[in-house]
């Protein structure tokens, strides 16, 4: 089948590459000429395990092409996926200018029936606006071509996106026309084999399903973070509580890990956008607002703890920080807890020696000109002569380091563990002063 994907960002690239890998003929369109040139050379501008190889392979096979030519893209695909960015506006609402610009482009160039698919995470009601934008452009050309607009939200996790795409938990198809539902089902057939994972529904419900899912997951995390702060004050250990709670299948073990807050490009943005939508419709979303404010507060917990240990003035202090990315297996630092911690440390006069297995280039891009940040080549350089070690992300490689080497390298053997990577008793036995999250100190 012929597929066009607008937007060669994270979602667009994974979607386009996976469709090509299933045998479809895919054209990806992006307005960023430099990015397109890079992709044409087979260079993938994002870090996602397995994507490089899959992309190059399908490009060589001639099933995956990149272009800046939007008209070519519109002529190519029966399916026109919109996978462009929807950044947060200052008020927290999703900025739809890129989505609607693509819709207008489709209306300007289409010459036959098209299925327009909203893949970007967009507020409820966006499909109606996309439909209207395409229609206006057609009317301006005096054309009366048929088209449908479908909501098909993505549920990809960074670091596991390919697997999530080819082995999805669910494929949500929001469509108000049964014919389009059938076409989408055929397109997704290669990823819908062992049992039917396709869930068809109306467009608005599909749009809300995406926000509802992310908001639920963010709620679980904020709930656990709230409980971890309480456990600490009560002399209980949240990690034992977590295991005890998760054994109830109605609660489950997933997404109940306490920590130094959730980050990334999705949860913070989507919770804010859903909150904004609620207000727009005259509803006060008290729980969603609390999820967001608990998370903002949680990102400060490590900072407060550092001050409680070292005092308010951190001038002359150096801290080793492990984990810059917002979670393991990505180089993405958007809304990462590490940034809140580092910025607070700098504010209080301290230096940071940081290490991350993948996010060093990204840190260089964001903070490269700072004198009070040293980006280190490995985990041990980051703790050399530092006053303490702070762990912000639970990368696998941080789990079993050479503790004696760390203890000897640090000026003082103090560890602030924002992800509960280490057992407190073991750390104490190794001679560290150890602070975890919600561990009953």
268 is a contact residue toward ligand UGA (CB under 6 A):
no
* String marking each residue 325-344 x if it binds ligand UGA according to CB under 6 A: -xx-----------------
C-alpha–C-alpha distance, residues 5 and 83, integer Å: 7
**How are beta strands 414-417 and 433-435 bridged, if at all?**
parallel
262 is a contact residue toward ligand UGA (CB under 6 A):
yes
183 is a contact residue toward ligand UGA (CB under 6 A):
no
Which is nearest to 208 in space by CA: 328, 330, 118, 108?
A: 118
SS3 33: helix
SS3 323: coil
- Encoding tokens for residue 407? 């203890």
267 is a contact residue toward ligand UGA (CB under 6 A):
yes
Which is nearest to 301 in space by CA: 373, 224, 375?
A: 224
Least separation in angstroms between residue 42's CB and ligand UGA is 24
362 is a contact residue toward ligand UGA (CB under 6 A):
no
Interacting stretch for ligand UGA, rule CB under 6 A, among 41-49, 140-148, 252-260, 364-372? Answer: 252-260
Which of residues 169 and 312 has its CB atom nearest to ligand UGA in the complex? Answer: 169
106-125: contacts with ligand UGA (CB under 6 A)? 121
Helix, strand, coil tally for the chain in percent (to 5) = 45, 15, 40
47 is a contact residue toward ligand UGA (CB under 6 A):
no
63 is a contact residue toward ligand UGA (CB under 6 A):
no
392 catalytic per annotation: no
3-state secondary structure 344-378: HHHHCCCEEEEECCCCHHHHHHHHCCCCCEEECCC
16-45: contacts with ligand UGA (CB under 6 A)? none
Which of residues 291 and 306 has its CB atom nearest to ligand UGA in the complex? Answer: 291
Residue from the set 217, 314, 341, 363 that interacts with ligand UGA by CB under 6 A: 217
Residues 411, 385 contacting (CB under 8 angstroms):
yes
210 marked as part of a ligand binding site: yes
Which is nearest to 435 in space by CA: 255, 272, 311, 301?
A: 301
C-alpha–C-alpha distance, residues 156 and 16, integer Å: 13
Rg (the chain; Cα; Å): 24
Catalytic residue among 18, 28, 260, 266: 266
Q: How many CA atoms lie within 13 A of 37 on its CB side?
A: 3
310 marked as part of a ligand binding site: no
The torsion angles phi and psi of 201, rounded to 5 degrees, stand at -160, 180
- Encoding tokens for residue 326? 């917002």
- Encoding tokens for residue 268? 């913070």
Which of residues 258 and 320 has its CB atom nearest to ligand UGA in the complex? Answer: 258
Interacting stretch for ligand UGA, rule CB under 6 A, among 182-190, 191-199, 256-264, 365-373? Answer: 256-264
Opening angle at CA 194, ends 192 and 195, nearest 5: 75
86 marked as part of a ligand binding site: yes
Which is nearest to 330 in space by CA: 394, 255, 379?
A: 394
Which of residues 67 and 338 has its CB atom nearest to ligand UGA in the complex? Answer: 338
Which of residues 256 and 421 has its CB atom nearest to ligand UGA in the complex? Answer: 256
255 is a contact residue toward ligand UGA (CB under 6 A):
yes
Least separation in angstroms between residue 242's CB and ligand UGA is 9
Least separation in angstroms between residue 417's CB and ligand UGA is 13
223 is a contact residue toward ligand UGA (CB under 6 A):
no
Which of residues 77 and 264 has its CB atom nearest to ligand UGA in the complex? Answer: 264
50 marked as part of a ligand binding site: no
C-alpha–C-alpha distance, residues 42 and 57, integer Å: 9
The annotated binding site for substrate is made up of 155-158, 210, 255-259, 263, 327
Catalytic residues: 266
The annotated binding site for NAD(+) is made up of 30, 35, 86, 121, 158, 269, 334
Binding footprint of ligand UGA on the chain (CB under 6 A):
121, 154-158, 214, 217, 221, 255-257, 259, 262-264, 266-267, 326-327
């Amino acid at each position: 089948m012929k597929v066009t994907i607008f937007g060669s960002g994270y979602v667009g690239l994974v979607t386009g590459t996976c469709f090509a890998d299933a045998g479809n003929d895919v054209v990806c369109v992006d307005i960023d000429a430099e990015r397109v040139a890079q992709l044409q050379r087979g260079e993938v501008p994002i870090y996602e395990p397995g994507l490089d190889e899959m992309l190059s392979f399908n490009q060589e096979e001639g099933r995956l092409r990149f272009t800046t030519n939007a008209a070519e893209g519109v002529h190519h695909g029966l399916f026109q996926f919109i996978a462009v960015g929807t950044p947060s506006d200052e008020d927290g609402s999703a900025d739809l200018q890129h989505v609607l610009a693509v819709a207008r482009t489709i209306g300007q160039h289409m010459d036959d029936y098209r299925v327009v698919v909203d893949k970007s995470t967009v507020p409820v009601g966006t499909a109606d606006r996309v439909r209207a934008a395409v229609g206006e452009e057609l009317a301006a050309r005096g054309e009366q071509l048929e088209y449908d607009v479908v909501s098909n939200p993505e549920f990809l996790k960074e670091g596991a996106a390919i697997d999530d795409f080819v082995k999805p938990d669910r494929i949500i198809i929001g469509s108000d026309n049964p014919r389009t539902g059938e076409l989408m089902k055929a397109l997704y057939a290669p990823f819908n084999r062992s049992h039917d994972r396709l869930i068809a529904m109306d467009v608005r419900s599909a749009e809300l399903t995406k926000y509802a899912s992310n908001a639920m997951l963010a709620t679980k995390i904020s709930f656990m973070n709230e409980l971890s702060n309480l456990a600490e004050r009560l002399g209980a250990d949240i990690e034992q509580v977590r295991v005890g709670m998760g054994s109830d299948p109605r609660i489950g073990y997933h997404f109940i890990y306490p920590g130094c807050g959730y980050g990334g490009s999705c949860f913070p943005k989507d919770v804010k956008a859903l909150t904004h939508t609620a207000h727009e419709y005259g509803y006060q979303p008290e729980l969603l607002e609390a999820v967001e404010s608990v998370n903002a507060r949680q990102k400060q917990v490590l900072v407060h703890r550092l001050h409680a240990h070292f005092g308010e003035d951190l001038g002359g202090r150096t801290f080793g920080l492990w984990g810059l990315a917002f979670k393991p297996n990505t180089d993405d630092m958007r809304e990462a807890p590490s940034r809140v911690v580092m910025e607070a440390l700098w504010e209080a006069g301290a230096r940071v020696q940081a290490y991350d297995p993948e996010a060093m280039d990204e840190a260089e891009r964001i903070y490269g000109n700072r004198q009070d940040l040293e980006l280190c080549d490995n985990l041990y350089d980051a703790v050399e002569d530092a006053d303490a070690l702070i762990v912000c992300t639970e990368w696998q490689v941080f789990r079993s380091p050479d503790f004696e080497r760390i203890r000897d390298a640090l000026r003082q053997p103090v560890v602030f563990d924002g992800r509960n990577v280490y057992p407190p008793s073991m750390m104490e036995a190794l001679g560290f002063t150890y602070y975890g999250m919600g561990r009953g100190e």
